[in-house]
Amino acid sequence: MDDIGRSRRRFALAVRESAATVARGARLVWNPDLPLAGELDRLSGLRLEWPKHAAALLGTRSASGARAHVTRVRGAFTHEALEPSARVDPERRRELLSSLQVLVARDGGLLDSTPSARALVLEELERAERHRRNEQAALEAISELRTLKRRLYPYQREGVERFLFAGRLLLADDMGLGKTTQAIAACHALFGSGRVTRGLVIAPSSLKPQWLREWQETTSVPAAVVEGTPQERARQYREFRSGFLILNYEQLLRDAERVQAIRADIVVLDEAQRIKNYATKSAIYVKALQPEYRLVLTGTPMENRLEELASILDWIDDVALSPKWRLVPWYTRWEGDGGKGKAGARNLDTLRLRLAPCLVRRLRRDVLGQLPSRTDTRVPVDLTPQQAVEHDELSAPIAGLVQRGKRRPLRQAEFLKLMQLLTQQRIIANGLGQLRFEEIWPAYSKARPDPSLLEGLFAPKLLELRRLLTDLVIDQGRKVVVFSQWRRMLRLAEWSVRDVLGDGDVRAVFFTGAEKQSQRTRNIVDFHDDPRVRVMFLSDAGGVGLNLQKAASACINLELPWNPAVLEQRIGRIYRLGQKRPIDVYNLVSEGSIEARIASLVGAKQALFSGLFDGTCDEIRFDAAASFLTRVERMVDPGVLPEAPVSAAGPPVEDGDGDSAAVEVQARLDDAALADELPVAPASLVRSDADEDTSRAADAVASDVTPAVASDVSPATNDPVAAAFDLVRVERTADGGVRIEAPPEAAGSLVALFQGMARLLASAVKTP
């Protein structure tokens, strides 16, 4: 014993050996039986079994320097349970967990512990350390937001700051509140402050172009879309050093090893419902990524089952909903069948409380005062393979006509053929269901929409419309106008959402020109006054003149017009004086189609058919500086394609409503049917399902069609007044009266003429 006392090393060794013997009775244990209600903190189940003789021995000085750790741990427990202050004070919590880690270490630890307690200490310490790192980095990162290209709204800045402090977040804001903008701003802040060097954005394939556009409009941080062959993608990954890559889920599956090798500092996951199922490859491969920063975006974090939410949260905070086995029994309301039938949900206050640290969700109604007056959103939709094949088959003949037009002016028949082909491509972009409407409608109109029937239409836009209307109409309770050029597309659209609206006890009405005047009037009144009427489907008959601003606050365009003026006319039905709410505009665009290229022209505020015609009655000549053919060439990119054989006349292709493709000839008009304006047009060009009001309600036909074009279709119309009279219809009514009708564009000219004549006559009468 004297030898031990004279040697500090031997004394420390003896203390340690004694501690190992005595401390068998001192153990750290964890009770996983967590509380059913209230906040969830796993440390609340931590217990310390601390015999007095073990406490005395462990309190002595030892060579290992464990005394401070023991003292800190002893002070944190009262009656064996961890004190609340030691759990809620972030710094004290971190220091306590650090001390426990030393004391329960597998090799040389002075305190015995159960495997579950030891694992808990290590996991919670890692979380505490991450929280500390994020707090230290957040303030510096937030300061970088001042260099963004666009201004954040207060709620958006709050969302960004929440993520920067948390480091991992599920952002589940309502549709239209700018989740993408918030994600880009967060990436900008972290990159600018040097906290991240490389990042990934994983999104559905159709959203990648939109992400890049939004990125370039929001930040100057470098970003690129991953695309190309496997070899090209491999080179892109290999050469990636700094910035962000935007890839889709399928590329993650195919290129998993190379994506892992990037070792991204941050991963943004868009449309995160793709990982709502634990067993899917998307979920498995996403969760294999382990970046420091993780941001998940979805407007629908839970669609059907709580397990979906738990699967998404696994990657953000895998303990927020612990224990998982309680999810269904505790949060499900049971009724009937001996209490075994699911009848709803319960204990949602507890669920919201436990999700609060890792989930941010703001509803539109909560931030109305911060929203801009108008928000335009491009909604990209992928073509199905069947659509793509039929769409691309038309590119060669279109390219041939474009090349022919570059060598000489196109004849009228050739020009009409070009219009027909372009129109058919647009219809295919809407869906093969519209293209083959006559074949499928009799059977579809009598059936209830279901996934198999919707897929059989090869019209992904209809599935996207269901999602939009579910969110806007059912969840947000708003009224929405839905536009299409074609009535047949509107009929398919109404059918595709009939069950969604019916299940929500709401309904839709039409305003297309096919309805009687009395029915249209009734539909407008119902849309304004009946709270159950929340959707109005409109052709461009409703694009002019209707005032719907007091009813609707959202507009969905199933396709984009060629002409931005027509697009603005549509939106102008709800975005006008008297609108007291911010409005949302959603433009559905089929990516990889002519429609996507039209979108770029419309976005640049270029009217495709403005001021293009100047020629004789049998030819159409194009201005070289802003030629129609040049713009078509930009859309189809004919390249070095040989001239495709084109029939001089050929049977014109009817569109889905029987509308002639000559509709497209109208300058500055997208959707007005020119067939009604062409008295000499072939019979095959006359519409069998004519939407008369559509052709009459478009803007400025007479002002946009040059005299040369007018002379093609009606004799002696060089005079604009004569051209206006050509558009007037005079009909005898059933009671023997006469009805005179003039479209708005002609009416304006005629009113001005009559007013001028009245002034002249009045002046002449007064003249002595």
List, for residues 613-656, the tens digit of each pLDDT value: 222 333 333 333 335 666 677 666 544 344 444 443 333 333 33
Kindly state whether residue 400 falls inside one of the protein's structural domains. Answer: no
CA nearest to 473, candidates 543, 556, 577: 556
Please indicate whether residue 62 or residue 361 has the higher confidence score (pLDDT).
361
Q: Is the pLDDT of residue 559 over 90?
A: yes
Domain that holds residue 43: 2-131
**Is the Cβ–Cβ distance between 546 and 573 less than 8 Å?**
yes
> Is 587 in a helix, a strand, or coil?
strand
The answer to whether the pTM exceeds 0.85 is no
Burial of 12 (0-12, 13-18, 19+ CB in 10 A): middle
Q: How confident is the model at residue 585 (pLDDT cuts 50, 70, 90)?
A: very high
Cis peptide preceding 323, ω within 30 of 0: yes
Kindly state whether residue 636 falls inside one of the protein's structural domains. Answer: no
Please indicate whether residue 566 or residue 750 has the higher confidence score (pLDDT).
566
CATH number of the domain where residue 277 is located: 3.40.50.10810
Q: How confident is the model at residue 67 (pLDDT cuts 50, 70, 90)?
A: low
In the chain, DSSP finds a helix count (H) and a strand count (E) of 35, 24
**Which run of H or of E encompasses 247?**
strand 243-248
For range 388-398, the mean pLDDT: 91
Sign of the four-CA dihedral 484, 488, 492, 498: positive
**Least trusted range by pLDDT, from 105-114, 447-456, 738-747, 750-759:** 738-747
What total number of domains does the chain contain? 3
- Final residue of a structural domain among 603, 630, 659: 603
Kindly state whether residue 288 falls inside one of the protein's structural domains. Answer: yes
Claim to verify: residue 22 and residue 67 sit in the same structural domain: yes
Backbone region of residue 737 per phi and psi (left: phi > 0; alpha: psi in -120 to 50; beta: other values): beta
Please indicate whether residue 116 or residue 197 has the higher confidence score (pLDDT).
197
Please indicate whether residue 393 or residue 687 has the higher confidence score (pLDDT).
393
CATH number of the domain where residue 482 is located: 3.40.50.300
Kindly state whether residue 448 falls inside one of the protein's structural domains. Answer: no
512-550 per-position pLDDT tens digit? 878 887 888 889 889 999 999 999 999 987 766 678 988
Claim to verify: residue 356 and residue 482 sit in the same structural domain: no
Claim to verify: residue 88 and residue 159 sit in the same structural domain: no
DSSP 658-698: S--GGGGGSTT-SS--GGGG-TTS-GGGS-SS--HHHHHHS
Q: Is the pLDDT of residue 698 over 50?
A: no
Claim to verify: residue 46 and residue 158 sit in the same structural domain: no
Claim to verify: residue 497 and residue 590 sit in the same structural domain: yes
Looking up tokens 């109404």 gives: 494
Claim to verify: residue 79 and residue 190 sit in the same structural domain: no
Cα distance between residue 599 and residue 612, in whole Å: 20
Looking up tokens 């109208």 gives: 666
- Looking only at the bridges linking them, the beta strands covering 27-30 and 112-113 are parallel
Please give the pLDDT value at position 747. Answer: 61
Tokens of 215: 């990125």
